[in-house]
């Protein structure tokens, strides 16, 4: 008898799924770098977490955290009314909303991952497709698939068109290909600010994407989890770094007064949470905002019992968000610290001839490691392999092998592009939102591990930093 036969089809499919990333990050988390207690540990530049305000967050949470008898009771699975009221206050203050978001238009869960899973289960049927532009946040794959069995389909957008409305043609091509196979594209995910590039879409591109979704009656999930981690924008007085650097001010879809000109707003939802903008990955709290569709809220509420946050977390975050003066100032500190580290990191890249896509928001930079990968590959050839003469000869297998081995051999973790469905091997996401004294260790380890730069024996250059 097949030992798996008693499991559901969904369980069998999940067991068959091999998540190499989880294995790597478990290794990273079990041997974390600490300059004092574990200097030989693994320096993590792979997981998007903002540690630049860690002391401020810890101090604040310890000040307001005290357990009451009410915290031992079951809470509201959609989030307490007090919590949802504070989330509404936050959104109305900082997202420049066209109409105030109301508490009853919000459903809270234990992380944006759970929120996405809930929404997909609410809107899609098994086998439906989700369209998302590549490169993209790789956890979308499992968020939509492990329970709902919906499948992400990447839409490869050339870097030159990454912010341009012309990219709609690539979405249309993917949509047509799926339709020819009898697959229904049900949801379009727009990640703005974008992960992993850290770029911000101009409004005209969002308009074009919404119009495309409207044409095909697709639901649109707008992931704005980095909305309050913008550190470089025209509104701040920033100028483009290069002639190809297109920078825009962030505009939440909640701020639009003409949304219904492009799509029926009932097809649009927004997600946000505490993990990224408030540096609390481990608290596990995210929410979905649906101001235009009561049915979505009711449907999400009907399954929220499986994903709701603890009463302790609910009360803690309510108290945190209720200090409006603290929160508003904290957001300013986040932007200032992110920009400082971004500038240090890009100076490092420029000094060492590492190309990158200029970013505006989030915790990371989409970095061109192709020459580093080429050097590493030529230093680690299998017995029957010939030396490569060009980065064009690199494969995604090479990409993943260097990433995997850097963790084991060099005690450093970044995120290789293949994990983000990059179109080209050698691009990587580097998280820069960690203290610079730690970040420079990780960057140096990556370059040292590759042995040389640009294949010409050029050693790591720290003199220009």
**What are the pLDDT digits (tens) for 42-73?**
999 999 999 999 999 999 999 999 999 999 99
User: For the residues 181-187, what does the mean pLDDT come to?
Assistant: 98
Residue 323 near residue 308 (C-beta atoms within 8 A): no
**How many CB atoms are closer than 10 A to CB 309?**
28
pLDDT at 238: 97
- Residues contacting residue 36 through CB under 8 Å, at least 6 positions apart: none
For residue 373, is pLDDT > 50?
A: yes
For 68-322, CATH gives 3.40.640.10
Query: What is the distance between the alpha carbons of residues 127 and 306, in angstroms, rounded to a whole number?
Result: 23
Query: What is the distance between the alpha carbons of residues 351 and 463, in angstroms, rounded to a whole number?
Result: 8
Question: Is the bond leading into 342 cis (omega within 30 degrees of zero)?
Answer: no
| The two three-digit tokens of residue 436, written as one number | 């610079």
Residue 399 near residue 116 (C-beta atoms within 8 A): no
pLDDT at 23: 85
Query: What is the distance between the alpha carbons of residues 353 and 350, in angstroms, rounded to a whole number?
Result: 5
Residue 224 near residue 287 (C-beta atoms within 8 A): no
Query: What is the distance between the alpha carbons of residues 151 and 131, in angstroms, rounded to a whole number?
Result: 9
pLDDT at 460: 36
User: For the residues 237-254, what does the mean pLDDT come to?
Assistant: 96
Residue 234 near residue 394 (C-beta atoms within 8 A): no
pLDDT tens readout for residues 112-132: 999 999 999 999 999 999 999
- For the chain, the residue count is 465
pLDDT tens readout for residues 68-96: 999 999 999 999 999 999 999 999 999 99
Q: Model pTM? A: 0.94
pLDDT at 465: 37
Closest CA to 109 of 79, 143, 84: 79
Give start-end residues of each CATH 3.40.640.10 domain in the chain.
Answer: 68-322
Instruction: Kindly report the CATH class assigned to 9-48+329-450.
Output: alpha beta
Give start-end residues of each CATH 3.90.1150.10 domain in the chain.
Answer: 9-48+329-450
């Amino acid at each position: 008898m097949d030992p798996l036969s008693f499991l559901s089809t969904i369980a069998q499919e999940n067991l068959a799924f091999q998540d190499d990333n989880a294995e790597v990050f478990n290794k990273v988390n079990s041997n974390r770098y600490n300059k004092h207690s574990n200097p030989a540990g693994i320096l993590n530049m792979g997981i998007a977490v903002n540690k630049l305000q860690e002391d401020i967050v810890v101090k604040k949470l310890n000040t307001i955290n005290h357990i009451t008898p009410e915290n031992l009771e079951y809470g509201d699975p959609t989030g307490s009314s007090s919590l949802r009221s504070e989330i509404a206050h936050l959104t109305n203050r900082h997202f420049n909303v066209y109409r105030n978001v109301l508490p009853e238009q919000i459903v809270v869960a234990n992380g944006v991952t759970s929120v996405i899973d809930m929404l997909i289960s609410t809107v899609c049927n098994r086998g439906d497709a989700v369209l998302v532009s590549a490169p993209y946040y790789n956890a979308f794959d499992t968020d939509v698939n492990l329970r709902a069995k919906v499948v992400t389909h990447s839409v490869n957008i050339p870097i030159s068109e990454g912010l341009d409305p012309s990219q709609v043609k690539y979405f249309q091509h993917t949509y047509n290909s799926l339709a020819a196979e009898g697959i229904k594209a049900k949801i379009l995910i727009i990640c703005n600010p974008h992960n992993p590039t850290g770029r911000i879409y101009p409004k005209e591109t969002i308009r074009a994407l919404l119009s495309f979704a409207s044409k095909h009656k697709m639901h649109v999930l707008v992931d704005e989890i980095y909305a309050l981690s913008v550190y470089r924008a025209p509104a701040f007085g920033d100028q483009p770094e290069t002639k190809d650097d297109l920078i825009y001010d962030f505009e939440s879809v909640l701020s639009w007064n003409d949304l219904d000109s492009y799509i029926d707003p009932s097809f649009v939802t927004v997600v946000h949470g505490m993990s990224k903008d408030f540096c609390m990955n481990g608290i596990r709290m995210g929410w979905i905002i649906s101001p235009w569709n009561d049915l979505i809220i009711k449907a999400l509420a009907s399954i929220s019992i499986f994903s709701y946050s603890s009463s302790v977390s609910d009360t803690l975050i309510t108290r945190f968000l209720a200090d409006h003066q603290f929160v508003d100032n904290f957001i300013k500190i986040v932007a200032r610290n992110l920009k400082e580290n971004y500038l240090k990191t890009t100076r490092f890249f420029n000094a060492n001839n590492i190309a990158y896509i200029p970013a505006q928001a989030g915790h990371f930079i989409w970095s061109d490691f192709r020459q580093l990968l080429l050097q590493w590959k030529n230093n680690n050839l299998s017995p029957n392999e010939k030396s490569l003469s060009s980065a064009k000869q690199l494969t995604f297998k090479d990409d993943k092998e260097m990433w995997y081995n850097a963790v084991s051999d060099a005690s450093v973790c970044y995120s290789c592009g293949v994990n983000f469905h990059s179109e080209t091997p050698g691009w990587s996401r580097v998280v820069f939102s960690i203290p610079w004294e730690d970040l420079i260790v990780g960057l140096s380890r990556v370059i040292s591990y590759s042995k040389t730069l640009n294949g010409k024996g050029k050693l790591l250059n720290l003199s220009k930093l």
